[in-house]
Amino acid sequence: MNIFKNRNSRKTILLGIIVIFISTAIFWVINNIQYKKYLKIVNNKVDSIINKVIQKYPDITEDEILDIVKGDDVSTNSVLSKYGYTLDISYIKALGEQIETNKKQNIILIITFGTVTLGIYLIYVIIQEKKIAQINEYIRQINNKNYILKIEENDNGELSKLRNELYKTTVLLKETAEISEKEKENLSTAIADISHQLKTPLTSIRIMLDNIQDNPDMEKAVRDDFIQDISKQIDWISSLVISLLKIAKFDAGTIKMENKEINAKKLIDTVISNLAIIIELKNIEVITNIDEKATFVADYKWQQEALTNILKNAIEHSKENAKIYITAENTSLFLKIIIKDEGSGIDKEDLKYIFQRFYKTKNSNENSIGIGLPLAKAIIEQSNGYIKIESKVGKGTSFEIKYLK
């Protein structure tokens, strides 16, 4: 790095030299004025005496007058003593010599001070240039997506403020890049999961269709079984696609919630009614304890979807003749809904992945898509709420949902 290549640095150095030159010139002028004052004092003194001598002794010669004017103390006083005068100008000459000495010292002081000041400023410029070079390198690293986090200085100044702002920007960019990378991984995983989810039913459908085509004399009962299985697989694929479209809308932020006041009891009764058939098939008793005045603000249709998915999960993991408990409690801060089953429970290792898309536990239904709970979580969080889960193997699982007011 060469500071003399920097246009601003060259201007600063030139300005410093000009300031030193002007300061020197000003002090030179001041000292000359003082010196002239000194000469004027001496000349006035000499003129006064000469005028007195001439008036009193008009026959004084011109050479004697020149000795008085131009001579030193000895020659001047030698002439004046003839006429009864003496002139002590030693103190005036000493003053003149002091002025001359001061002039030289001031010049040296100005040059020294200017040089030191310029040197200090040049060091400052070099340090600033170095900092700017570091910031430029920092920006280059950011442009290359290398989000290094190395801001060591906490001193004041515009450059430090700039460094701090760059640090904040870098942290934000790093977090954004990490989120973007995570989203890419999630998308890649989702595509792989969807492909896997679709591959099995599509393969099954193809095999059954090939069997039907290859065996025109196939018995009607066997053919009907194949057609029924194909219909089930198609329904399953349709359900998967619908669920994927729903959760994709939440990811894209295109869902428009029609938020209205919802009565919690009415909502939960509707959810239970929607699942009445599978509840009856397993002879499950759903026990509710709901505050009839409990309300919250959200989109009714989407909350119905979320709670249906959670209750359906509880039913699927419950044994026949089991019980499921649903409570709703209203507070000044939130509405809390708890759905608790007496099912097989979830392993501790599985619990942290329970809201991950397409994730299935060991006890999951073979027809499970693995997207119901992630969708429920997305809906609840979109509705100013949150959900947490607690589970113990062999004792059951509890979902706690809170809608903030």
What secondary structure does DSSP assign to 97-118, as a single string?
A: HHHHHHHHHHHHHHHHHHHHHH
Work out whether the CA dihedral 258, 262, 264, 268 comes out positive or negative: negative
Residues 110 and 27: beta-carbon distance below 8 Å: yes
For residues 123 and 78, give the distance between their C-alpha atoms in angstroms, rounded to a whole number. 62
Q: What is the pLDDT of residue 306?
A: 92
Write b or e for each residue in 256-286: b if 16 or more Cβ atoms lie within 10 A of its Cβ, otherwise e.
Answer: ebeeeebbbbebbeebbebbeeebeeeebeb
Record: fold of 160-251: Helix Hairpins (1.10.287)
Q: What is the pLDDT of residue 207?
A: 87
- Of 180 and 377, the one with more pLDDT: 377
What secondary structure does DSSP assign to 294-311, as a single string?
A: -EEEEEHHHHHHHHHHHH
**Domain boundaries along the sequence of the chain:** 3-143, 160-251, 256-404
Q: What is the pLDDT of residue 67?
A: 58
Which tokens is 240 given? 């998967």
Q: What is the pLDDT of residue 3?
A: 47
- The dihedrals phi and psi of 296, each to the nearest 5 degrees, come to -155, 165
Q: For 321-329, what is the mean pLDDT?
A: 92
Q: What is the pLDDT of residue 254?
A: 74
Nearest to 270 by CA among 239, 315, 233, 301: 301
Record: fold of 256-404: Heat Shock Protein 90 (3.30.565)
Query: pLDDT by residue (tens digit) across 30-78?
Result: 767 766 776 677 667 667 766 766 776 676 665 665 555 555 555 555 6
Least confident of 84-88, 166-170, 263-267: 84-88
> What are the start-end ranges of the E strands in 254-361?
259-263, 285-290, 295-299, 323-330, 334-341
Element (H, E) at 271: helix 264-274
Residues 308 and 274: beta-carbon distance below 8 Å: yes
- Of 48 and 270, the one with more pLDDT: 270
Strands 385-392 and 295-299: unpaired
Q: What is the pLDDT of residue 80?
A: 57
Query: pLDDT by residue (tens digit) across 350-398?
Result: 888 888 777 766 666 655 667 788 889 989 988 889 999 999 888 899 9
